[in-house]
A = this chain, B = another copy of it.
C-alpha cells in the first residue's frame, strides 16, 4: 500500500496491539515519586489500596516496558479498535498547504472519545478484584460515559459526579450515561462533605474537575465494595491509552510515512500521552526525528503558565501529592466548553517529560479553536469535540506555516473525540456568543500561593 490515494489507513483486528507501552522504562530519569499528603513520604501500594485494585496500583508504579492487555479487555476493544488513521486530504486542499495532515480518530468508540481505552481495563481489573461499584468524576462527560459503558460490560455499578458547568451545558451526556446504566450527579453536590463545603462558600459554583474528584474519592474511600476510577493524569491511565500511538505507528508503517510534527490537546494528558508516548520511544531510540507539541486552553494553561511543583490532584486536598505542572489545586478555570481540559494540573509523567525538554507546549484561546473545528467539519465531515479543536487549531497553524515556507511536513494529530454532544458550544460559536478569558498574572499568582509545602 502506498499513501498516494488512501483517505484512511485501517488495521484488522488481528493487527491490534496486544500490550500497552510504559514510557517510564525508556526515560533518562524516572518521574519524581508521589507523596503521602500527611507524611510526605513516597506512597506505597497500601496507601492506594482503598481506591484502586492491586493490578492497577502495580501498573501505576511498574518500570516494565510493556504490560500485556487481558483477553477480556481485547474482546471489548474489538467493538471499535483498531481506530482509523485518516489523511485529511480535503482539509489540506481547503488550506492550500503542501503539508500532509493525518489524524488518528478515537471518536469511533462507544463514548465517542479515547476514554474507553482505559475505562474498559479499569472496569475489568476492578471486577476481577471483587469490586461492586465504581465512582468517578467527569468534565465534559466523555469519561463518565466511557466508565458507565465499561462498567456495564463487567457487571459493575457506576456513579458519576459531573462538573456543574458541563452538566448544564451538555444535558445529552447525562442521558447517554444513563442509557449505558450509570447514575450521574452534578458537582458540587450535597451528597458529600467535599461538595457541601464548596456549596456553602458558593451555592452557584460551576464546579471543577478537582472538586468532582474530591466527591468521587470521598464516596469510594467510605465503602469497601466501591473503588474510584480516574480518567486521566495517572500513569496507568496513560499506559492504557498507548494503544492509540502503537496503532498509529503500525498504520504509518503500512503506508511508508513518518510524522515530522505531532500535536495533541492536553487536559489531564491521557489523550496526548496515549498518542505520543510510542512515538517518543522511537525518538528516544533514535529511530524518529519528530517534534511533539502539547496544546492547552489559554484559560487553563498548566504547562505554559503553571509551576512545576508538588500539588494535590483534587480541590479538597484528599489525594496524594504529585509533582506536576499546576495552576494550584484551588484554581477554578473559566467554564469553557472544552470541559475535558479544565483541570488545574498536568499528568506528572507528561510534566516530567516536558521538564526533560522532550516536548513543546502552546496555549490557544477557545474561539480560535472553534473556528478550526468548523473549518475541519466542513472539509472532513467530522464535528470535533471542543477538546481536540485545540489540537486542530495548532495543526492548522503548522500547516499554514508550511504553506508560507513551502515545506511538505507530515503532521499527525489526535482527533480524540466527536462533538455530537457538544453542539450547544458550536451553537454559541456560530451565534457569535463565545468569549475568551485567560487568567491574569495576579490570578495565577494567587492560585499557586496555596500550594502545599514540600521540602526539596
Contacts and interface: CB of A to CB of B under 8 A. Distances in A.
B7 A10 contact: no
Contacts of A421: 172, 420, 423
Given A381-B149, A382-B110, A78 B175 contact: no
Interface string A101-123: 00000001110100010000000
Interface in A418-445: 418, 420-421, 423-424, 426-427, 430
A260 interface: no
A80 B380 CA distance: 10
A283 interface: no
Given A8-B13, A10-B10, A79 B176 contact: no
A6 B175 CA distance: 31
Given A13-B8, A149-B381, A378-B152, A420 B80 contact: no
Interface stretch (A45-53, A177-185, A204-212): A177-185
A179 B430 contact: yes
A6 B75 CA distance: 10
A172 B424 contact: yes
* Majority DSSP secondary structure for residues of A touching B: helix
Contacts of A116: 381
A80 B381 contact: yes
A149 B424 CA distance: 19
A393 B172 CA distance: 23
A8 B16 CA distance: 13
B381 A179 contact: no
A427 B175 contact: yes
B175 A426 contact: yes
A410 interface: no
B79 A179 contact: no
Contacts of A426: 175-176, 178-179
Nearest to A109: B381
A12 B84 CA distance: 11
A356 interface: no
Interface in A373-399: 374, 377-378, 380-383
A7 B16 CA distance: 12
22 contacts: A7-B79, A8-B13, A8-B78, A8-B79, A10-B10, A79-B380, A79-B381, A90-B153, A110-B380, A110-B381, A110-B382, A116-B381, A149-B381, A172-B172, A175-B427, A175-B430, A179-B377, A179-B383, A179-B423, A179-B426, A181-B378, A418-B420
Which 3 A/B pairs are nearest by Cβ-Cβ distance? A110-B381, A420-B420, A7-B78
Given A110-B382, A176-B383, A179-B423, 9 more contacts: A8-B78, A10-B10, A90-B153, A110-B381, A149-B381, A172-B420, A172-B421, A175-B423, A178-B426
